[in-house]
Structure 1
Amino acid sequence: MERLTVPDKKIDGGLRRAIIDAREVRKEAMTIYWALKKYEDTELTPEQIMELKEAVQKLENIFGDEITVNQVIDFFVDFYIAQGDPDRVEKAELLTNEEAAKWQELKERDTAKRVKRDADDIPYCPYCESPNVYYYEENMEYDFCPDCGQRLKWEE
């Protein structure tokens, strides 16, 4: 978060209060007002913001990407809707470790992976190694493995 106030300076024996120019304060008053309003409009308490920050850190550990609070919120909303539990969205309940692991697995399975081929050039699923990814009678490549649901990528 961008700092909006002037910090006090540490000196031997205590703190020296920052000297404030009233004209500068007036110039910044509306900037500070709008920043405070933006925060208050979220209707989140400081404790809830800290919980979201912890959730962001946990998701960064799981997904390895830099992730924003908005992405966390979108993640929870998508997950709960996909699970058929939209009531949890309104309650803003966080994921359990098991749910987060399941979501990670589903995310990985939905990421297209290149079809592998054996020594006889027969295609198979890179996830479950099923050879059922190609329908020979119709000369058709499946977009998903019919056995495990892995999204498949066929182009070289």
Structure 2
Amino acid sequence: MPRIEIEVSDKTMAQWREFAATMQADELRQSGLLGEWLVQGFLTNVHLYLAEGGPQPPESRKSRNDRQDAEARRKLPKDKKRVLPMFNENDRLTVAEIARVLGLSEENGRALVDGWIAEGFLTNAGPRDGQTAYTLAEDWQVRNLAANRPSLNAPRSVYKPVALNRE
């Protein structure tokens, strides 16, 4: 049987050894396909390697999440896009505030907020100034933070204001 020898970096060899220890590699080895599979995979993609200068590293989990968050924000309807930045100023909003920004009656604002709660965009945050307040649902809080407060990467409610002692 013909044999192919290649030179690889220490990092690539370590990744190969890690893969070779997996159950998937063992199954390929037992079926006699490991070498064939590797060469066929390379030959299938060699045109990409030549055009792009090598295989592209896998996308990191953080960049994939950032891309998905940006896409989710981009797909929001106009009314949600107008309300989302309001949560940068105040973590808890009332129906009256949301309705005012959108130019709706409070009754129509209530119907809209109820729909957003059912969709998982908003959640009840308890009373504020005698009215029920709402906050972004947890997954939208993360998406909004990623877009507008990446340096904090945490809701403002986690941080306590610092009292300055001015003498």
TM-score by length of 2: 0.29
Which structure has greater helix proportion?
2
Larger RCO (CA within 8 A; separation ≥ 6): 2
TM-score by length of 1: 0.30
